[in-house]
Structure 1
Amino acid sequence: MKLYFLIAFFCVTTLTAQDDAKQLRSIYDMALTDGMAYDWLNHLSNQIGGRLSGSVQAQQAVEYTKRQLDSIGLDRVWLQPVMVPKWVRGTPEFAYIETRPGMTTNVPICALGGSVATPDVGIKANVIEVKGLEELEALGQEKIKGKIVFFNRPMDPTKISTFSAYSGCVDQRYSGAEEAAKYGALGVIVRSLNLRLDDYPHTGSMSYGNTPIQDRIPAAAISTKGAELLSTSLKLNPDIRFYFKQNCKQFDDVESYNVIGEIKGSEFPDEIMVVGGHLDSWDLGDGSHDDGAGVVQSMEVLRLIKANGYTPKRTLRVVLFMNEENGLRGGNKYAEVAKAKNEKHVFALESDAGGFTPRGFSFDCTDAAFEQIKGWKELFEPYLIHQFVRGGSGADIGPLKDEGLVLSGLRPDSQRYFDHHHAEIDTFEHVNKRELELGAATMASLVYLADKYGFPATRKIKG
């Protein structure tokens, strides 16, 4: 009798695994032959363009994605209001290195998001180069006051994880102006967070902390080639001067929206599973990798689930978050409303690492949930998805974090991501259609498995 039950269990397990493999195959086949993600991204990128929070383009993206979600037959689609910051870049920035009066070399710069403008005539001053925030205190006000601080710590090329390299130096971009102002600096120039040498400055968010408005100083990113030239010039002649002019401005907050669509669960409708990306982008390019790719992949997840005829047990929800880049207002608002409504979220997956070839997922979850998830890994191996690791998930779903909730992030190959990140070359032609579609299919497959089996902390106990 015991042997009989073992044989029966083995047969059922084998058949279940075969059913799952067949379902994943169907999802991938549909995404690769009849996908919508690439067409959606084409419109977002080429018909709308960069979607900075509070801009006309951001509102156009809200309206467009809502129409598309309405068109795929979800049970419900709605807009969730959220107040977002409105920062405008203004006319193009201009900068040069002056080695002696009348001898100048132009260098590419761009204002950091949230920066104040320079005076109308710009700023020209001597430069002091540092490798990080900690050097400012050692130099002190005597050496910094009246100068432009040049933060020149590059991303560490020895780190295989480019996101780790990014994390290792993003503090100088985010807090550089706040810290340099304390020592009387006139402005801040930050080396672009990019692993290759090129002429494209990379913008990104920055903060003044509690610095009074009248004491805030302008901050700009300089291209990596420009940073190398400036650093070398300073070594040859520490008395060179740097000039830059930018015309950016911060306005009052304006209303925008998270775009949300859902398929109601058939068995556990009160258990919510979220998949999403952020709809806003920086304004230099068209935001195709960051994060147009994540937006259309997330939309495609629900379309693929529905088109494959799978009836989800739990409520599947796509959330296109507004204002990840310079405020995280959309992610915080979504979590705030979910908490106020006492909604039960059991799983959330975010795509915000570009539309490159998917390699796997990171998971922020309990040990028991991760053990279960690892059991699905072999289903993904035929698609060369091999990384199932513990780690962070995504900025917009982070505010949802709660005990028992499984958070996950899609992890594409990251080696080229920071070539495009926050720069004018984050454009549609740099997204490969097949890679984008593979990412959408990979996400849909994980959502299917998470819905079908649930997780230890979220399973219903039947009496």
Structure 2
Amino acid sequence: MRCIRTAILVFCVLFTTNLFSQTDEEIFKNIYKSSLTNGKSYDWLNYLSNQIGSRLSGSLGAERAVAFTKQELEKLGLDNVWLQPVMVPKWVRGAKEYAYIKSAKGTTTVNICALGGSVATPPLGLKSAVVEVHDFQELKALGKEKVEGKIVFYNRPMQPDVIQTFEAYGGCVNQRYEGALQAAKYGAVGVIVRSMNLRLDDLPHTGSMTYENLPVDKRIPSAAISTNDAELLSTMLKLDPSIEFFFRQNCKQLKDVLSYNVIGEITGNEFPNEYMIVGGHLDSWDLGDGSHDDGAGVVQSMEVLRLLKEIGIKPKRSIRVVLFMNEENGLRGGNKYAEEAKQKGENHVFALESDAGGFTPRGFSFDCTDAAFNQVLSWQHLFKPYLIHFFEKGGSGADVGPLKTNTNVLAGLRPDSQRYFDHHHASNDTFDAVNKRELELGAATMTALVYLFDKYGVNTMVNRLKN
């Protein structure tokens, strides 16, 4: 028995010594090899997407996703796994929406979906003349005289010549989010919004919208229309401005319900009170199964902690995976996590979010000081063999954003985004649209960045400049 104990001790010493003697390049190779040959992210996503499905806040799917991910994190043998309670909105879509365009030649059915948070139409639907605008300035120019009693059709497309597709999305998403609020000021009875999608297809894309403090009796129904049908509606209006649009939707906003952020932690062995987090949002919209948005980010974040344990890396700092609830229509989970972290005086030195789909990773964006960013750039050569070249200062992620301080580093994984908005918030955001290898490369890339920040800290360059 003594010989066995001695042998085990010798093995542990040799294993630890070998791990510490490895170069960063060698650690990277181990991370990518483990993810690509023995990864769990794709299997997790398969279950999350195909066995649970859509996970809109407050839904049964969201509840089952909380239970599943907590169970899987517990299987990893982390130091701690727990649920963080958070109250979330509960909006339900109801029966499938229906719409058509009525002209002198008859009716043409079109594809729409209610926007998240919208009120319903009257039970028998809503039919009215249509006015087309491209922005709020055009709406204001038309004024109440030309808008009152009509349906406002927002038809500003995503700009196709903008290479960074999230920039193109940002250039037109305000019409979806604020469209009903602005149109209601001029007496409109409903809103139809062109889907946020770069390609022409028949799929309407949902997403959140707001009424802010608009009185309930002044709120008007708002729906997205597919890009093909937006083109059709625009063409028909040019030919005959007197055409009418009919739509019916049955959505409803219910009382807030209790849900949870799911959190797992590996406690740091040198600086346990310095926290690094990696995460994605567990909720999704209800039209597809949320595989890209944000099932991919959820399973990649879980995989980071699994890979660290599999490779045998004992982090200096405490590393948490946080699966946030309610990013899509409220950001309650991200705000709750940051609120409790502040109350407890927790020092979050680094936070990484994956919420841009499961496509091939290209790099990261960083919200940090110039000194910290220079430190990141000094690591760029380590990622180059894996074709990860995109490093820029900019945004991070909606859920980690509330953790921002003057000294910490927030980051966002940036996959190739050219096809992301083909699926974003639509019924084709499904498991079959995710490539296994691309998903696993993203998980490995996140793990590699977490490893570097844990090993070297976030203020290495700052301290170097001071000295």
- TM class, shorter-chain normalised? over 0.9
Match of 2:46 in 1: 42
Q: Does 1:424 align with 2:427?
A: yes
Farther off after superposition, 18-27 or 38-47: 18-27
Q: Does 1:315 align with 2:318?
A: yes
Match of 2:11 in 1: none
Structure 2 distance, partners of 1:459, 1:271, is 17
Structure 2 distance, partners of 1:328, 1:405, is 21
- Is the Cα contact below 8 Å between 1:346 and 1:458 reproduced in 2? no
Match of 1:330 in 2: 333
Q: Does 1:84 align with 2:88?
A: yes
Secondary structure of the structure 1 residue equivalent to 2:272:
strand
**What pairs with 1:449-460 in structure 2 (closer than 5 Å)?**
449-456=452-459
**Superposition deviation, residue 460 in structure 1:** 9.6
Amino acid in structure 2 at the alignment position of 1:445:
A
Secondary structure of the structure 1 residue equivalent to 2:206:
coil
Match of 1:183 in 2: 186
Report the CA distance shift for 1:135/1:282 in structure 2 as closer, same or farther (over 3 A).
same
Q: Does 1:156 align with 2:159?
A: yes
Match of 1:339 in 2: 342
**What pairs with 1:431-450 in structure 2 (closer than 5 Å)?**
431-450=434-453
- Is the Cα contact below 8 Å between 1:404 and 1:457 reproduced in 2? no
Structure 2 distance, partners of 1:455, 1:132, is 42
Report the CA distance shift for 1:460/1:71 in structure 2 as closer, same or farther (over 3 A).
farther
Q: Does 1:258 align with 2:253?
A: no
**What pairs with 1:27-426 in structure 2 (closer than 5 Å)?**
27-100=31-104, 103-426=106-429
- Is the Cα contact below 8 Å between 1:87 and 1:113 reproduced in 2? yes
Amino acid in structure 2 at the alignment position of 1:371:
N
Secondary structure of the structure 1 residue equivalent to 2:178:
helix
Structure 1 distance, partners of 2:264, 2:155, is 43
Amino acid in structure 2 at the alignment position of 1:112:
L
Secondary structure of the structure 1 residue equivalent to 2:23:
helix
- Cα displacement string for residues 311-338 of structure 1 (whole angstroms, at most 9, x for unaligned residues): 1000000000000000000000000000
TM-score by length of 1: 0.95
Farther off after superposition, 451-460 or 181-190: 451-460
Structure 2 distance, partners of 1:72, 1:29, is 19
Structure 2 distance, partners of 1:98, 1:115, is 23
Match of 2:4 in 1: none
- Cα displacement string for residues 45-98 of structure 1 (whole angstroms, at most 9, x for unaligned residues): 000000000000000000000000000110000000000000000000000000
Structure 2 distance, partners of 1:458, 1:425, is 44
Amino acid in structure 1 at the alignment position of 2:364:
F
Secondary structure of the structure 2 residue equivalent to 1:423:
coil
- Is the Cα contact below 8 Å between 1:404 and 1:458 reproduced in 2? no
Report the CA distance shift for 1:457/1:247 in structure 2 as closer, same or farther (over 3 A).
farther
Report the CA distance shift for 1:263/1:384 in structure 2 as closer, same or farther (over 3 A).
same
Match of 1:9 in 2: none
Report the CA distance shift for 1:391/1:16 in structure 2 as closer, same or farther (over 3 A).
farther
Match of 2:16 in 1: none
Structure 1 distance, partners of 2:311, 2:59, is 36
Structure 1 distance, partners of 2:461, 2:317, is 11
Secondary structure of the structure 1 residue equivalent to 2:99:
strand
Secondary structure of the structure 2 residue equivalent to 1:198:
coil
Structure 2 distance, partners of 1:381, 1:17, is 22
Structure 1 distance, partners of 2:283, 2:372, is 32
Secondary structure of the structure 1 residue equivalent to 2:438:
helix
**Superposition deviation, residue 459 in structure 1:** 8.9
Secondary structure of the structure 2 residue equivalent to 1:200:
coil
- Cα displacement string for residues 208-232 of structure 1 (whole angstroms, at most 9, x for unaligned residues): 0111001000000000001000000
Amino acid in structure 2 at the alignment position of 1:304:
L
Secondary structure of the structure 1 residue equivalent to 2:352:
strand
Structure 1 ranges of 4+ moved more than 2 A = 15-18, 457-461
**Superposition deviation, residue 137 in structure 1:** 1.1
Q: CA RMSD in A?
A: 1.5
- Cα displacement string for residues 259-286 of structure 1 (whole angstroms, at most 9, x for unaligned residues): 0000000000000000000000000000
Structure 2 distance, partners of 1:225, 1:455, is 48
Structure 2 distance, partners of 1:16, 1:126, is 71
Structure 1 distance, partners of 2:256, 2:461, is 38
- Cα displacement string for residues 197-250 of structure 1 (whole angstroms, at most 9, x for unaligned residues): 000000000000111001000000000001000000000000000000000000
- Is the Cα contact below 8 Å between 1:93 and 1:111 reproduced in 2? yes
Structure 1 distance, partners of 2:28, 2:71, is 28
Secondary structure of the structure 2 residue equivalent to 1:349:
strand
Report the CA distance shift for 1:192/1:98 in structure 2 as closer, same or farther (over 3 A).
same
**Superposition deviation, residue 458 in structure 1:** 10
**Superposition deviation, residue 437 in structure 1:** 0.1
- Counting aligned pairs with the same residue, the percent is 71
Amino acid in structure 2 at the alignment position of 1:355:
G
Amino acid in structure 1 at the alignment position of 2:369:
T
Structure 2 distance, partners of 1:212, 1:205, is 18
Secondary structure of the structure 2 residue equivalent to 1:330:
helix
Structure 1 distance, partners of 2:374, 2:305, is 26
**Superposition deviation, residue 456 in structure 1:** 1.3
